[in-house]
Copies of this chain bind each other. A is one copy, B any other.
Amino acid sequence: APQLDGYFAEVDKLSTHFIDRLSKAVAIPSISSDASRRPDVVRMGEFLAAELKALGASVEMRPLGKQPDKPDLDLPPVVLARYGSDKSKRTVLVYGHYDVQPAEKSDGWATEPFTLTVGDDGRMFGRGSTDDKGPVLGWLNAIEAHQKAGVDFPVNLLMCFEGMEEYGSEGLDELIEKEGKGYFADADVVCISDNYWLGTEKPCLTYGLRGCNYYSVEISGPGADLHSGVFGGTAQEPMTDLVRVLGSLVDTNGKILIPGISEQVAPVTAEEEGLYDGISFTMETLHDSLGSKTTIFEDKKPTLMARWRYPSLSVHGVEGAFSAPGAKTVIPAKVIGKFSIRTVPDMEIDRTNECVYKYVKEVFAKLGSKNTMKVYAQHTGKWWVASPNHWNFRAAGKAVERVWGVKPDFTREGGSIPVTLTFEQATGKNVLLLPMGSSTDGAHSINEKLDRRNYIEGIKLLGAYLHYVAEEPQD
């Protein structure tokens, strides 16, 4: 096993300095969705670049051109960095993002969102603390602690930090695909720290994500919006048709009523079955994060399976209908229902689309409506599952056990992190999701926080992971 005591002691010694570094980062309001904050996003990228250079890394700021929906606005650069180029060492590629979600004190924050505020209980509040500035700085802190402890850095580290993650990672896929055999060519494995523990006490390694197909059903009839007094009872109303179509997709208990979806789902294997029982997760935690007890299942195992390995269908809303408070007696002329399906192995995007289109057309045809209906996918994204037995995961598991004294849970997530699949496909290497924060961090909510313990032990974990991955026998 690698010698890590010196490194760990140095991380503890530097902890105030590392929290100070996080304070500086949180103080830059790098909100990617707000065009007026773009200079702050760029400033945050420059801050990272300067810190990396000071640590001896070579850094490139890669421009991504203009923002597609705002042709006068430059996208923030991708910070590409390399620390070490020793041919005798393995090379690890890590990804993170330096932009954040919007935040205003008036949204209900108890503290100033762009001032890192550390409570007596160790909770460190601030926008971006856990998503994703804490983890990104974790890599920099790991480098610094090695240097100051005089411990040889065990791998060559390639870093890819983007500034548009919270606004769709505009332009990043193209860069990753291009650099798969370029800047990233040496990578032996990939590690992404941009997700969270399943609960608050037990670390996890994440080996799967659901995909997402997002659909629109557009129904139109009259030439313009109508008054329901004048036309009610004489015209076929698009909204009447739409609620009937949307009402046919899924039932209250989440059962998808579209034929051909569940048929594509991979059967549960005995090996997978065994994974669930030990996982640290309770229905109480779920009720807490839900803010209610309106769950579909009463027990842990079907709940986790529903989140991780079964598809789900959500109806998000209707565009074109009356959506304000109050009462308006309009017959909307054209309404667009929005719903999405979270996809899992072995569902195929094209086959799923076909099942959706066929079913929606059949349901609409049965209505006998003279209105016009179109159904189409707004976007699609594939699910991702890695092998939790890959040597990258084995190394990470050993690092977790060394730092936290417990074997990690192997988890999936219900959401998608599309860049994961992009890295896997562009590099051909195994991708590991290695979270730093916990389930109560509130990444996109008010009062986002990162626990001091998760930050400091997380820095140890990232460093330890690099040591274990350096020596873990390949499969």
Query: Which residues of A approach B to under 8 Å, CB–CB?
Result: 210, 212, 214, 221-224, 226-237, 239-241, 243-244, 246-248, 250-254, 286, 290-297, 303, 306-307, 310-319, 321-333, 338, 340, 342, 367-371, 378-379, 413-416, 444-445
Q: How far is the CA of A330 from the CA of B244 in the complex (A)?
A: 21
Residue of A228, A327, A338 contacting most chain B CB atoms (<10 Å) = A228
Q: How far is the CA of A415 from the CA of B61 in the complex (A)?
A: 63
Q: How far is the CA of A247 from the CA of B307 in the complex (A)?
A: 28
The residues of B that contact A313 with a CB separation of less than 8 Å are: 232
Per a CB cutoff under 8 Å, which of B315, B338, B367 touches A237?
Answer: B315
Q: How far is the CA of A344 from the CA of B168 in the complex (A)?
A: 52
Per a CB cutoff under 8 Å, which of B228, B244, B247, B251 touches A340?
Answer: B228
With A318-B318, A321-B318, A415-B230 already in contact, the answer to whether A252 and B241 are too (CB < 8 A) is yes
| Nearest chain B residue, comparing its CB with the CB of A291 | B223
| Nearest chain B residue, comparing its CB with the CB of A329 | B340
Q: How far is the CA of A331 from the CA of B297 in the complex (A)?
A: 17
Per a CB cutoff under 8 Å, which of B246, B317, B329, B414 touches A323?
Answer: B317
| Nearest chain B residue, comparing its CB with the CB of A223 | B291
Q: How far is the CA of A172 from the CA of B222 in the complex (A)?
A: 34
With A229-B212, A369-B252 already in contact, the answer to whether A316 and B294 are too (CB < 8 A) is no
Per a CB cutoff under 8 Å, which of B224, B231, B254 touches A414?
Answer: B231
Residue of A229, A251, A325, A444 contacting most chain B CB atoms (<10 Å) = A229
| Nearest chain B residue, comparing its CB with the CB of A237 | B314
With A222-B294, A229-B212, A322-B316 already in contact, the answer to whether A379 and B327 are too (CB < 8 A) is yes
With A241-B252, A315-B237, A317-B321 already in contact, the answer to whether A232 and B342 are too (CB < 8 A) is yes
The residues of B that contact A226 with a CB separation of less than 8 Å are: 290
The residues of B that contact A247 with a CB separation of less than 8 Å are: 243-244, 246-248
Per a CB cutoff under 8 Å, which of B232, B297, B317 touches A234?
Answer: B297
Q: How far is the CA of A325 from the CA of B214 in the complex (A)?
A: 13
Chain B nearest CB, measured from A453 CB (Å): 23
